[in-house]
Structure 1
């Protein structure tokens, strides 16, 4: 293994931490560690430690170092001087070092994203490339910008859509090799609140798969109903579906999901892009793919799907390539 052709990929979100040793050319994962030490939990530990502000980066680096040692044990060699590329919430107010957002537009090859290079130290012998998020006049994202870069959008004048499902789903329009607009939809968070904290919680049940039984039928019904009436009214149908025994609780779970995802995707019928790239976790990608099919959007434009892991690694590697010279000087 040639360490000069590898990098350490750190995907550090609000609630999770993932560190991988990756080959730059093939993006093959050579070793991997993950934990629940997301930036929110780490920020709370930092507060409890009561250390001075100038020690914050050191505190966060120690988290990375702990997992680095496990990677070294796995590959049976030291990983000193292998660069670390970090994306996600580590560049936010709860992260290791706040880096200002890059204003839209930004290049889809990742060449002009906002970054901060941290030089190696005696205790942490790795240059760090910390990638920041992106902002519009009224919206923000952190982490998804790297995944967008990893989609390798064609540089064409037609508008293409990057759709990243999640707690806060992102819709980013791409044109001529530039990401030009951003919209966040709180679909995942609303679904969580409605299905666990509202009166609807007693009418739904998690656990089934989309392709099981009548789940897909009820999901598609939710998508179609979302186009016909107000969401605030439609949501109450989840309760009456249960009260009148029209749907089982697992079926209702997918009906509610269809209502929310269908509402999110409503505008795509009137403003269909030339192409949609749907990138994210497999379960959510399957749901959104089914919603776009139910709405007929996939008949109006091609829809391609990509995995969250694949676009994250591809995006990080692309940004790293643009900053290799700076890392070597650090």
Structure 2
């Protein structure tokens, strides 16, 4: 089997509430060599530990799953992974994770230099040393993982210093991270993605909306989306949501177009306060489909000159690059 060195590669793990992603990441070339993806998120691992009534710590259950994932990744690549550092960000440092770590506070440097981290032993289950990265919190909000993504984003784009930049990270819990003078000074969480999923699959509106079969977004879809954004600017979200039902019953929109109309209502509601009169620059980091919708909303709001949409490749590698940056700063285990 081929063997990589600790200085040329590491194992990047983004462990969310409902998802698991383990990458063999080439630091030198900034590329993913192979990855292992599953829905074995922290919530599932923690629930299994609780049901087992085991006297061992939750960390043991996490390590056992990591061992399985490492074995699959090693077989897939033909590369020896046993002594390679693993860096984990996301929910693994939460109360349902491997080990709960305290949050860092604001202001927080965008290169992750003030991150709260902890080296964890493999407990003889795996030979790898594990660097666990915690999140950032304010009095009213918190995040785990997005601060690491941001460290990767700014490393890759080498963006010129602007007076104020708001980084938009869409997702289940969309984050708006405000940066000035290379410091995170504020951030806000919007449950846009989670609310969209609930409305799409449960309740009254589920029967009025159908997800498209392809990711193609053309004229009719954009028009319906903009209609939703416009409505979001005019009225309250709770009132607007019933209009999705009306457009279905009166056949104003097909169920697929209603999907984009609903997207516009929610994304418009998310952006209308953040963008209200702001002179900040906005940088969107997302997959292509979702990023296209957010970018289109900014253009509709007349802010095309203030927004940058990052590429799919930058989005895909942001967490791993950020972990690599933080690993170099906290590399105390040889």
Given the two structures, how large is their TM-score scaled by the length of structure 1?
0.93
Distance across 2 between alignment mates of 1:147 and 1:91: 16
What are the within-5 Å matches in structure 2 for residues 157-236 of structure 1?
158-208=163-213, 209=215, 211-212=217-218, 214-236=220-242
> What is the aligned partner in structure 1 of residue 118 from structure 2?
116
> Which residue of structure 1 lines up, in the alignment, with residue 10 of structure 2?
7
Contact 1:18 1:32 in 2 (8 A): yes
SS class of match (1:280): coil
Distance 1:321 1:114, change over 3 A: same
Distance apart, 1:218 and its partner CA: 0.3
> How far off its partner does 1:201 sit?
1.6
Task: Return closer, same or farther for 1:160/1:273 CA change in 2, 3 Å cut-off.
Answer: farther
Counterpart for residue 80 of structure 1: 82
Please report how far the alpha carbon of residue 294 of structure 1 lies from its aligned counterpart in structure 2 after TM superposition.
Answer: 1.4
The residue number in structure 1 matching 2:102 is 100
Aligned residues: 325
Structure 1 segments unaligned to the other structure (5+ residues): none
Deviations 1:286-313 (A, max 9, x none): 22111111111223x1323244322111
After superposition, the C-alpha distances for 1:192-219 in whole angstroms (9 at most, x for unaligned) are 2222223222211112445146111101
Query: Mapping of 1:1-330 within 5 angstroms?
Result: 2-4=4-6, 5-53=8-56, 55-152=57-154, 154=159, 156=161, 158-208=163-213, 209=215, 211-212=217-218, 214-299=220-305, 301-307=306-312, 308-324=315-331, 326-328=332-334
Q: Could you tell me the TM-score, scaled by structure 2's length? A: 0.92
Give the drift of 1:155. Answer: 7.1
SS at match of 2:81: coil
Instruction: Using the TM superposition, give the Cα deviation of residue 248 of structure 1 relative to its aligned residue in structure 2, in angstroms.
Output: 0.7
Q: Unpaired runs of 5+ in structure 2?
A: none
Deviation for aligned residue 1:25: 1.9
- Runs of 4+ aligned residues of structure 1 deviating over 4 Å after TM superposition are none
Distance in 2 separating the partners of 1:67 and 1:84: 12
Task: Provide, for residues 170-208 of structure 1, a one-character-per-residue CA deviation record: whole Å limited to 9, x for no partner.
Answer: 111001110010111111122122222232222111124
RMSD: 1.8
